[in-house]
Amino acid sequence: MQIQRLQTLWLAIAVICGTVSFFTPWWSAGSMTMTPASDIMLLILCSLATILPLLAIFMFRNMRRQKQVALLGAAMSVLAIGYSIAMTYMPDSGGVEITQHFGTIWPAASALADIMARRCIVSDEKLLRSADRLR
């Protein structure tokens, strides 16, 4: 069996990576561990970064909108990483050592999968345009 729409696979990988990011710690400072559930802004960004690729999977009839939603999902993942880094280096840390964890890898992998899905959507559009020319 062959997957005909590769972007669906990439979008599914983005959803899986986004879901895993909810359950892994991003960083810790002393006894506090940062996960998306511990900060409302990070929770919103990660939720959007997970929901948008899931919605994009079902937008296969409107490729232009699917491209936009996939790109928006990647942007939400990048914003979540940026917000986490900004929270890490806040000046009120009080001399507590901050340790980064592997949790920030998952949104980066999700953003990469979203971008790869967008590339596959673009190549699908080109293929459809060339097939329309042949008709």
Rounded to 5°, the CA angle 25-31-36 comes to 30
The reply to whether 9 falls in a domain is no
- Assess whether pLDDT exceeds 80 at residue 24: yes
In a domain, 3, yes or no: no
Is residue 72 situated within a structural domain?
yes
Q: Which domain holds residue 126?
A: 14-130
Q: What is the pTM of this model?
A: 0.87
Residue 86: inside a domain: yes
Contact criterion met (CB below 8 Å) for 24 and 104: no
Q: Where are the beta strands (DSSP E) in the chain?
A: 27-29, 32-34, 98-100
- Could you tell me if residue 35 is left (phi over 0), alpha (psi between -120 and 50 degrees) or otherwise beta? beta
Question: Residue 59: inside a domain, yes or no?
Answer: yes
Predicted pLDDT of residue 10: 96
d(CA 99, CA 30): 9
The total number of structural domains that make up the chain: 1
Does residue 2 sit within a domain? no
- Rounded CA-CA distance 48/36 in Å is 12
4 is a domain residue = no
How does residue 94 score in pLDDT terms, banded at 50, 70 and 90? low
What's the confidence (pLDDT) of residue 103? Answer: 86
The span from the CA of 113 to the CA of 15, in Å, is: 9
Looking up tokens 């008709």 gives 135
Q: Within a domain: residue 6?
A: no
